[in-house]
Amino acid sequence: AADQLNRRGHDVTVFERNDHIGGLLMYGIPNMKLEKWVIDRKQKVMEEEGVKFVVNADVGKTVKAADIVKDYDSVILACGASNPRDIKATGREADGIYFAVDFLTRSTKHVLTGKKDGWVDTKGKNVVVIGGGDTGNDCVGTAVRQGAKSVVQIEMMPKLPDERAANNPWPEWPRVCKTDYGQEEAIAVFGKDPRIYQATVKEFIADKSGKLKKVKLVKLEPKKDAKTGRLNMVEIPGSEFEIPADYVLIAAGFLGTQDYVAKAFGVKLNARTNVETAEGSYKTSVDKVFTAGDMHRGQSLVVWGINEGRHVAREVDEFLMGYTNLP
């Protein structure tokens, strides 16, 4: 969005809450998937073209939203779906449980700087990852590369078939089991797939000092709800079992935008806690405030962030100028 609006001739400033720009590109995606010199190169090009970047600016906390609204002709909120889904199980307060992006951020900062402040070092430790998506896979790959003693990945849903089922023909999206780089590396190191399907955490078990030592899991089975017809994963009585865990990394997805940002600007949220806009629009309920990306559509892909950034830039340009010739 900043790139497009700057090329149109607007004076653009980007406020970033972290110490480096890039959001999830910088700290949520490990270096082995996206080397950070790519982001640094793009930042340098944009700065030379006139875009201003202000880092360590946590708008809604260290920077007042009211000041930004007052000082600028238009504001775009592109703060991501950064409210992580938690696991509410007994023993959640144990030491050694981290949200996935927090763990990945600490790891990336250590790789970039060599400093160990706040670094979560999984070398020689038993690691349990909760969640089967891309972020969970990144946690698996990172723990393997750090030299973890064991890595287990917990998935609630049943394992998908290795090949297309009869009711999933081309050109439908293939609903098949995907083994990504993290799982491939775990298989190469430990000799087995790290994933446990149809299971969830029942309890986090710590020692007397409060340090996590084990997790109690319970097996799940799919059952159709008689009223709604929805397929729910329900616990199988008596199926509990324990596995060792020095660290648990929660990669269970995101619930939407962090509410302090939305409250600071006074924008309305929808039922999914994303910033509300009219269908096909990026304008929020507050005058001259727009939104785009995960904050607008919910947790999604980088390519959708790029797409929405271009679309919101076009809408902001038209709002400011009365017309737009942005693509």
Amino acid letter, 215: V
- What CATH class does 97-162+172-250 carry? alpha beta
Candidates 181, 124, 179, 192; CA nearest to 152 is 192
Whole-angstrom CA distances from 322 to 22, 284, 302, 314 are 30, 18, 30, 11
Mean pLDDT of 27-51: 95
CATH 3.50.50.60 spans which residues of the chain? Answer: 2-82+255-321, 97-162+172-250
Q: What is the CATH number of domain 2-82+255-321?
A: 3.50.50.60
Mean pLDDT of 147-175: 95
The pLDDT confidence band at residue 244, using thresholds 50, 70 and 90, is very high
81-104 residue pLDDT tens? 988 999 999 999 999 999 999 999
- Which pLDDT belongs to residue 45? 97
Cα 314 to Cα 10: distance, rounded to the nearest angstrom: 12
- Which pLDDT belongs to residue 142? 97
Cα 278 to Cα 300: distance, rounded to the nearest angstrom: 19
- Which pLDDT belongs to residue 206? 97
